Amino acid sequence: MKIFITKRIPQKGIDLLKAAGHEIAIHDSPTPLSPAELIQSGQQCDYVLNGGMQKFDADFFRSCPNLKALSLMSVGYDNVDIRAATQYGIPVSNTPGVLSGATADVAFLLMLAVSRKAFFNHKQILQGKWKGFDPTAHLGIELNNKTLGIYGLGRIGFEFARKARAAYNMEIIYYNRRRNLEAEQVLGARYVNFDDLLTRSDVLSIHAALTAETANRFNQDTFKRMKNSAILINTARGGLVKEDDLARALCVGELWGAGLDVTNPEPMAADDPLLNLENVCILPHIGSATVETRDNMALMAASNLLAAIKGERMPQTINPEVYP
């Protein structure tokens, strides 16, 4: 069976596929494939493993009649037209769970870094602007006993809330499509409506998927309803936040700070005004970027494909309705 991998993935995943005797072609380049190139590669293989941020639209599925399954090495699947995949009979899988701890670590890192203006203070040293100890300068805010609001409390949100509660005894409130009873029992988390989430959170962390419903959910209106002392964290997808509105809200003091691991677009332009704001910390989408987590994601993505090749259901199928 011929497998096409859209970007180099950790060797463990490749070795697992090779050990099963399959022929593998890898697009081994930092430049993403154009839609036409992706279709051309998809037409020459039976299975695709997506290691990058490629978009799989209806045109792709329509144009690749021999394709039997698509395995994503990511938990997010906003880059795939799942409805079209299902329509053309293609099962699509993702890699949930294995990256929750690493991604929650980055949310925690950003929360703490923003609260102490860490990135800005570091830049001050690099620019020769550190003039010595000053009792009234470089002041951050503390996190102890503050309220952490989680927008989208799934596995990653749960992990982040658990860490924040253990480290700072933070009170956890959350807004979700469904109640998360485990979080309520284990963390004492309280389900609130969206407006309460905005008005009560000292730190508001976004962990929801990007969908038509959540796109630009955090915008001028929502920032106006948040506390002036609040910190916004986003480790989910850049498209949930309207960045121009965020920059304005930070500049006029409607929000205290923001920590972003994801932006819209990615990569962010080096001269983006958000990068120069004092209470903003931005990272280049590194939530799952540890050796251990990326190995586990590659192994999970490869295992999903091996199941599909054997004619079995992929264990992490996003569109199980595709199976008879």
For residue 274, state whether it binds ligand DGY (rule: CB under 6 A): no
Rounded Cα–Cα distance for residues 40 and 262 (Å): 30
Contact in structure between 194 and 142 (CB atoms under 8 Å): no
Of 50, 71, 74, 176, the one binding ligand DGY (CB under 6 A) is 74
For residue 105, give the nearest of 303, 318, 259 by alpha carbon: 259
Stretch binding ligand DGY (CB under 6 A), from 18-26, 68-76, 139-147, 218-226: 68-76
Of 6, 288, 317, 319, the one binding ligand DGY (CB under 6 A) is 288
Quick one: 66 exposed, middle or buried, by C-beta within 10 A (0-12, 13-18, 19+)? Answer: exposed
* Residue owning tokens 């407006």: 195
State the nearest-atom distance from the C-beta of 169 to ligand DGY, in Å. 29
State the nearest-atom distance from the C-beta of 225 to ligand DGY, in Å. 27
Positive or negative: CA dihedral 19, 25, 27, 29: positive
Of 287, 298, 300, 301, the one binding ligand DGY (CB under 6 A) is 287
Rounded Cα–Cα distance for residues 195 and 260 (Å): 22
State the nearest-atom distance from the C-beta of 129 to ligand DGY, in Å. 34
State the nearest-atom distance from the C-beta of 65 to ligand DGY, in Å. 28
State the nearest-atom distance from the C-beta of 288 to ligand DGY, in Å. 5
State the nearest-atom distance from the C-beta of 119 to ligand DGY, in Å. 21
Residue closer to ligand DGY by CB (options 116, 237) is 237
Contact in structure between 54 and 35 (CB atoms under 8 Å): no
For residue 3, give the nearest of 55, 30, 19 by alpha carbon: 19
Stretch binding ligand DGY (CB under 6 A), from 20-28, 71-79, 179-187, 310-318: 71-79
For residue 318, state whether it binds ligand DGY (rule: CB under 6 A): no
Stretch binding ligand DGY (CB under 6 A), from 40-48, 69-77, 243-251, 273-281: 69-77
For residue 304, state whether it binds ligand DGY (rule: CB under 6 A): no
Stretch binding ligand DGY (CB under 6 A), from 59-67, 73-81, 152-160, 224-232: 73-81
Residue 178 burial (CB count, 10 A): 8
Of 10, 13, 76, 152, the one binding ligand DGY (CB under 6 A) is 76
For residue 51, state whether it binds ligand DGY (rule: CB under 6 A): no
* Residue owning tokens 């003091």: 253
Contact in structure between 148 and 161 (CB atoms under 8 Å): yes
Q: Which residues are catalytic?
A: 237, 266, 285
State the nearest-atom distance from the C-beta of 236 to ligand DGY, in Å. 8
For residue 100, state whether it binds ligand DGY (rule: CB under 6 A): no
- Residues between 203 and 232 that touch ligand DGY (CB under 6 A): none
For residue 9, state whether it binds ligand DGY (rule: CB under 6 A): no
For residue 93, state whether it binds ligand DGY (rule: CB under 6 A): no
Q: Which two structure tokens, joined as six digits, stand for 271?
A: 């001269």
Q: Please give the torsion angle defined by the CA atoms of residues 292, 293, 294 and 298, in that order, rounded to the nearest 10 degrees.
A: 100
71: left (phi over 0), alpha (psi -120 to 50) or beta: beta
For residue 301, state whether it binds ligand DGY (rule: CB under 6 A): no
Rounded Cα–Cα distance for residues 1 and 14 (Å): 14
Q: Which two structure tokens, joined as six digits, stand for 144?
A: 């102890």
Contact in structure between 141 and 115 (CB atoms under 8 Å): yes
Footprint on this chain of ligand DGY (rule: CB under 6 A): 74-76, 99, 287-288
